[in-house]
Chain A
Amino acid sequence: MSLHLTATVDNRDVEIALDVADGQTVAILGPNGSGKSTVLSVVAGIVRPDRGRAVLDGTTLFDTADGVWLDPHKRGTGLLAQDPLLFPHLSVLDNVAFGPRSSGASRAGSREMACTRLDQVDAAELADRKPSELSGGQAQRVAIARALAAEPRLLLLDEPMAALDITVVPAMRQVLRHVLAGRTAVIVTHDVLDALLLADHVVVMEHGRVVEQGPTTAVLERPRSSFGAGIAGLNLARGVVEAGAVLTSSGLVVAGLHGAQQVRDGADAVAVFSPGAVSVHRQRPSGSPRNVYPAVVRELEPRGSQVRIQTGEIAADVTAPVVAELDLLPGSEVFLAVKASEVAIYEA
């Protein structure tokens, strides 16, 4: 189930090439209006590109050179949008059964498949409700089950968590992690954590063009595009959980806050914190911070009113007066401190 896409949409100024390998999840990151959603619409068959070609697993979805165009219902590309868009006149069960029923399954058979899918997203108890009786998070879980029940060869997710209450986002991310494992998918998002936790590969789009792409951690740790640097450039520490903290292969121990669920000891996890949360000291700081690391400054990089200090593993953003006061230069030995309350730990 691999996707190969090239497409140009003139009136939206989008020109993109994208490859998704079998079983891989690709995240498209980018600012509003960068054409991320247009890409999904083109793959799903809702927007007709002016030029281009898409092949999904050997099936040509469209090819403007040959005049080939497959209608959306023949593509096998499930689309999950920001808004769950459950059919208001159908029960939850019939919403989920809609896909299998439309492709010829019997009424009983399609309901059975629907039950399985609802179970998979922990929504089995909602089967008899009407969409109007669901909360936002519940409705989006049902929408995921509905998209899965249609057995798509490629799953397209357009900011699936953007409209959700912030309190239900971590749980939804877990559901999606579960669902996307081993599945060929493209997810459009503006949230770095989505990309980090859900995608193997990241594509950064700006002004309708791909400005950067590569393996998720590589792009997020060392972004080369301005958008990537703006939203990403986060400190990521990957490792295993030990006594609630993440122990990296290089021996760093990062303590932090866990999401809704405590991450079990021994599990693979990632600790995430922004460079702005890191403070820089010449002497080992006394007092509260649990995370203190000796480091050597490698690079100083002005970023607006801030200066980014790159060390071996961790980046810190400080103001220019602080740089002057501490007399920081490449080669300076410093201590970096991060409050545990500024660090989020996710199972990875």
Chain B
Amino acid sequence: MSTARYSGVPRWVYVPAAAGAVFIVLPLAAMASRVEWASFFSLITSESSRHALVLSLRTSAMATLLCILLGVPMALVLARTSFRGQGLLRSLVLLPLVLPPVVGGIALLYTFGRKGLLGETMDVLGLQIAFSTTAVVIAQTFVSLPFLVVSLEGTLRTAGQRYEIVASTLGAAPTTVLRRITLPLVLPGLAAGAVLSFARALGEFGATITFAGSLEGVTRTLPLEIYLQRESNPDAAVALSLVLVVVAVLVIGLVRGTRSSAV
């Protein structure tokens, strides 16, 4: 694996490559250099910070769960079946990946908001979604679902159907095949997709502030808290930012771990 071998990469390529790496790492280092280490712990454990952190973790976990419940069936349908308009459907499903999150937030507002498409129906049922914690979870799920679908669809395609066909000729019904063969075989890909979705949900800002607002303890997640603190208390903003960087680094480590253990 690590045996040195001829790379074929022209030497000059290293210069822009190094510049790119610096471009990514330098801002993080600059931010870390501004952290007030003396007050770091008290800054990230202040009441509003704790509220924001707990809310973020809670809503991101819920959003990830929703992504798995909705995304696994979507990936299966996209990877294993073929029907008219499938290509178009795939493009539409991936739209939240490229859509500005604030646009997503407005779209959600006109769907689930008071005056939205489903808003009146929900009003009758006594459900008020906009500007609630539920809205945060919906916004996060909306933006992170494509990550899980794309990642899992790729894994399913790579894994192929050969084992599933064998299982069905052994008399296993489709649900049994899914539970005992397909899902165990794509578990590393599913885990990687779930971790990516969690990370995307944790960083969600635009759709959340548009659709859910910024109420402390209810809808003010960590990114929103950082944005607010930036004006009044830059030290706290930097400290909380570092917390998110650490979480992001852990996430990358987790994804790499699951990818490398995959067959």
Q: List residues of A whose CB falls within 8 A of some B CB.
A: 44-46, 71-73, 75-79, 81, 83, 85, 87-89, 98-99, 102-103, 146-147, 150, 152
Smallest CB–CB gap between B170 and chain A, Å?
Answer: 4
Number of B residues with CB within 8 Å of any CB on chain A = 19
Contact B185 A72 (CB under 8 A): no
Whether A72 touches B165, Cβ cut-off 8 Å, given contacts A87-B181, A89-B185, is yes
- A71→B185 CA distance, assembly (Å): 22
Q: What residue of chain A has the Cβ atom nearest to residue B173's Cβ? A: A73
Instruction: Please give, as numbers and ranges, the residues of chain B lying within 8 Å of A45 by CB-CB distance.
Output: 168-169
Q: Decide: A102 near B163, CB < 8 A? Known: A88-B185, A89-B185.
A: no
Q: A276 to nearest B CB, angstroms?
A: 39
Q: Which of A73, A81, A89 contacts B168 (CB 8 A)?
A: A73
Report how far A44 CA is from B165 CA in the complex, Å.
9
Q: Please report whether the interface of chain A is mostly helix, strand, loop or mixed according to DSSP.
A: loop
A29 → chain B closest CB, angstroms: 23
Given contact pairs A85-B163, A87-B163, A89-B185, A98 touches B180 in the complex (Cβ within 8 A): yes
B162 (CB) vs chain A CBs: closest residue:
A85
The 9 A-B pairs at the shortest CB distance, nearest first, are namely A102-B172, A99-B170, A72-B168, A79-B169, A150-B170, A73-B168, A103-B171, A89-B184, A85-B166
20 pairs of residues in contact across A and B, judged by CB atoms under 8 Å: A44-B169, A72-B165, A72-B168, A73-B170, A73-B173, A73-B174, A75-B169, A76-B171, A77-B169, A78-B169, A85-B162, A87-B181, A88-B263, A98-B167, A98-B180, A102-B167, A102-B171, A102-B172, A146-B170, A152-B169
Closest to B165 in A: A46
Interface check B86, CB cutoff 8 A: no
Beyond A73-B171, A85-B163, list 11 extra A-B contacts (CB 8 Å). Answer: A44-B169, A71-B174, A73-B172, A79-B166, A83-B162, A85-B166, A87-B163, A98-B172, A102-B171, A102-B172, A150-B169
- A to B contact number (C-beta, < 8 Å): 62
Measured between alpha carbons, how far is A99 from B172 in the docked complex, in Å?
Answer: 7
Check B166 against A99 for contact (C-beta < 8 Å). Answer: no
Query: Which partner residue on chain B sits nearest A88 by CB separation?
Result: B263
* Bound CA–CA A78/B167 (angstroms): 10
Residue of A nearest to B184 (CB): A89
Contacts of A71 in B (CB 8 A): 168, 174
| B176 at interface by CB-CB < 8 Å | yes
A10 to B181, CA, bound (A): 32
Which chain B residues (137-178) contact chain A, with CB distance < 8 Å?
Answer: 162-163, 165-174, 176-177
